[in-house]
Chains A and B, each alone.
Chain A
Amino acid sequence: MAVLVSTTVNGDTIEFACEPDETLLDALRNRMGLTGAKEGCGTGDCGACSIMLDGRLVCSCLVLGPEAQGREIETVEGMADGPVLHPLQRQFLDHGALQCGICTPGFLIAAKALLDKTPDPSEEEIRFGLAGNLCRCTGYDKIVRAVQDAAKEMRGA
């Protein structure tokens, strides 16, 4: 008894069918082929599945696929402008703010959500803003520096 869902992902209207108890994360990855969001814990603790849902940062593992009906979703796949990376993406690369990379899409989405609201965050604000994203490789310092430099760049400073 699949549910038919029509939603907007990164500006495109997408229709998909999913089971009523299927998570939006699974629907994104397995039905829509958008594998940027990752499943780390599956229980909302690690943030690897972070997406924007109607302008709010959420864990897509804690959203049911059918809930996406008529909503607007933004994923990491929508961050770059064609071949031009988003400043956050480029700064993550320049700073080496990733090792295995599993957590990176979630960090990028959460960092973008933070900078959209707080263009000039303190280090503490960055660390609190990203507290819902776990990284077991980097020790976070490089991530924080990448976000600081991306913020500076985005402010045109």
Chain B
Amino acid sequence: MAQNAATIFKQVTPMQYEAPETTKAAVALLAKAKGSTHVLAGGSDLLVRMKGGFIEPDLIVDIKRIKAMREVKKTAAGFSIGAAVPCAALSENKALVKAWPGVVEAANLIGSKQIQGRCTIAGNLCNAGPAADSVPAMVAAGAKAVIQGPKGKRTVAVEAIGIAPGKNSLKKGELVEAILLPARKPKSGDAYLRFIPRTEMDIAVVSCGVNLTIDGKGVVTSARVALGAVAPTVLLADAAARAIIGSKLDDAALDKLGAAASAACRPIDDKRGTIEFRTKVAAVLAKRAAKIAYRRAGGK
């Protein structure tokens, strides 16, 4: 009987939609909310999950009316990309494309033009999908997420956000306000590649982001390598990065990079790819992405 009452109550309780104009108001709504609460940025995942019946939100907080979250700002520290900025807007920002081509190309691989007009990299990050396209590129870039919550602001490395497929580390009342990309050192480049069985519009079977800086002689002085779709979360592959630091990306260094990338993989077998395939392709993509990043950094 109690359960029936609860069921009926659930059915007649309408979802509440709020579109606050400040981050503070958004945090206040999220902090006091009871029941199923979701942040709406682009909605390209949230609405699909609602329609599929996977979630039944009691409250949706739309962040697109918050002016600061709709802006891409270039600062001395780099770029700040508001959580509500659609991916289509990233490729329209010439300075961002020039500084972080790998991040922008990853963001622009998500879905169709229609999806591009809505989806956001902050949403991609918070959904915590292991195959999220923009995330390995952001992890490789050393991006940080600015989180606002009832206890104020905190800034964390993006790789700390996803903790399991579909689960993020945000606490109640918290939301990502912006993604920070660092200022670019001279002679730096990044790249993102994914394997899909089609030419476009598919979910990564394996993906890899590489970001590196070289010196005047073409020696890699720093690097970050991230892998997607080969573990429950996007991986930062430190050993893979170490394999190319100090090298001119010669064949021996590339082979070490590939071996380290494969060794980092902890994939599953599913209809999109086997463990063996994913592990092998991770090496191929890491090498290719590193070569592109190296060329973009001005290396020959």
Contacts and interface: CB of A to CB of B under 8 A. Distances in A.
Q: Do A and B come from one complex?
A: yes
Interface of A: 1, 3, 19-21, 23, 42-44, 47, 50, 53, 56-59, 61-64, 66-67, 69, 110, 113-114, 128-129, 131-133
Given A43-B48, A64-B43, A128-B200, A59 B114 contact: yes
Interface residues of B, number: 28
Contact of A44 (B60, B64, B111): B111
Contacts of B88: 56
Given A43-B48, A58-B114, A63 B43 contact: yes
Nearest to B59: A20
Contacts of A64: 17, 40, 43, 47, 60, 62
9 contacts: A20-B60, A21-B15, A47-B112, A47-B114, A59-B114, A59-B115, A113-B113, A132-B111, A133-B112
B113 A110 contact: yes
Given A44-B48, A56-B88, A63-B118, A132 B113 contact: yes
B51 interface: yes
Nearest to A20: B17
Interface in B45-99: 47-48, 50-52, 57, 60, 62, 64, 86, 88
B3 interface: no
Main secondary structure of the interface of A (DSSP, over half): mixed
Contacts of A132: 111-115, 201
A75 to B, nearest CB: 14
A26 to B, nearest CB: 11
A58 B113 CA distance: 8
Contacts of A44: 44, 47-48, 111-112, 114-115
Nearest to A49: B114
B127 to A, nearest CB: 14
Given A20-B15, A64-B40, A67-B64, A57 B114 contact: yes
A77 to B, nearest CB: 18
Contacts of B14: 1, 19-21
A58 B50 CA distance: 18
B19 interface: yes
